[in-house]
Amino acid sequence: MFNANNRIIIVDDEEPQLIELAKTFLATGIGCKTIWYNPTYNIPLKNVRIAFFDMNLTGKVIDLDQETFDYKKDKNLSSAFNDLTFAIQNCISIDNGPYALIFWSKHAKAFPNFIEYVNERCPDLPSPILINAMNKSDLAGKSAEEIQSNIEQIFKDKSISLLFDFEGKCENAAIETVNEIFKIIPKKEPAEENGWLNSGGFEENFDLIFSSIAKATLGFEHANANIDRAVYEALLPMMNYRIINNSIKENKWKEYLNSISIKRSQYPTDFKKGILNSIFHIDTISEVTFDKRGAVFEYQFEYTFWEKLISCIPYFKKLNEASLLSFSEFISFSKTATSEQIDQIRGQSKFIVIEISASCDFSQNKNRNHKYVLGLITPIIKNDIIDETRISQRVFYKEMPIFHLNGEEFQIWINFNYILSSFSIDKNFGKPLFILKKEIIDLIGNRYANHVSRIGITSF
Model confidence, pTM:
0.68
Average the pLDDT over 147-153 and give the result.
Answer: 70
Determine the pLDDT at residue 375: 92
Q: Determine contact, residues 22/64, Cβ cutoff 8 Å.
A: no
Residue 324 has pLDDT above 60, yes or no: no
Residue 79 has pLDDT above 80, yes or no: yes
Determine the pLDDT at residue 360: 60
Determine the pLDDT at residue 434: 95
Determine the pLDDT at residue 199: 59
**Residue 183's CB: how many other CB atoms inside 10 A?**
8
Ramachandran area for residue 131 (φ above 0: left; ψ -120 to 50: alpha; else beta): beta
| 247 or 397, which is more confident | 397
pLDDT digit string, tens, across residues 352-387: 999 998 766 555 555 666 688 999 999 999 888 988
Average the pLDDT over 324-347 and give the result.
Answer: 82
455 — phi, psi (to 5°)?
-90, 130
Average the pLDDT over 224-248 and give the result.
Answer: 84
Determine the pLDDT at residue 98: 83
Residue 2: which of 41, 38, 29, 42 has the closest Cα? Answer: 29
Q: What does the mean pLDDT of the chain come to? A: 79
pLDDT digit string, tens, across residues 122-143: 777 888 888 887 777 766 666 7
Tell me 447's DSSP state. H
The fraction of the chain above a pLDDT of 90, given in percent, is 13
Determine the pLDDT at residue 1: 47
| Domain covering 8-156 in this structure, CATH number | 3.40.50
CA angle 16, 21, 22 (to 5 degrees): 100
Question: Can you give the length of the chain in residues?
Answer: 460
| 144 or 114, which is more confident | 114
pLDDT digit string, tens, across residues 156-198: 666 777 777 788 888 888 888 888 888 888 766 555 555 555 5
Residue type, 85: T
Weakest mean pLDDT among 88-97, 311-320, 330-339: 311-320
What confidence category does residue 68 fall into, taking pLDDT thresholds of 50, 70 and 90?
confident
Determine the pLDDT at residue 410: 94
What confidence category does residue 411 fall into, taking pLDDT thresholds of 50, 70 and 90?
very high
Residue 4 has pLDDT above 50, yes or no: no
Could you tell me where in the chain the CATH 3.40.50 domains are found? 8-156
Residue 320: which of 305, 308, 333 has the closest Cα? Answer: 308
User: What would the DSSP string read from start to end of 296-326?
Assistant: EEEE-----HHHHHH---HHHHHHHHHHTT-
Helices (H) and strands (E) in the chain — how many of each? 16, 13
Ramachandran area for residue 417 (φ above 0: left; ψ -120 to 50: alpha; else beta): alpha
CA angle 375, 380, 382 (to 5 degrees): 115
Q: Determine contact, residues 28/2, Cβ cutoff 8 Å.
A: yes
| 323 or 111, which is more confident | 111
132 strand-pairing partners: 102
Q: Determine contact, residues 71/84, Cβ cutoff 8 Å.
A: no
pLDDT digit string, tens, across residues 270-308: 888 899 999 999 999 888 988 788 999 998 765 555 544
9 strand-pairing partners: 33, 51
Sign of CA dihedral 59, 60, 63, 64: negative
C-alpha–C-alpha distance, residues 265 and 50, integer Å: 31
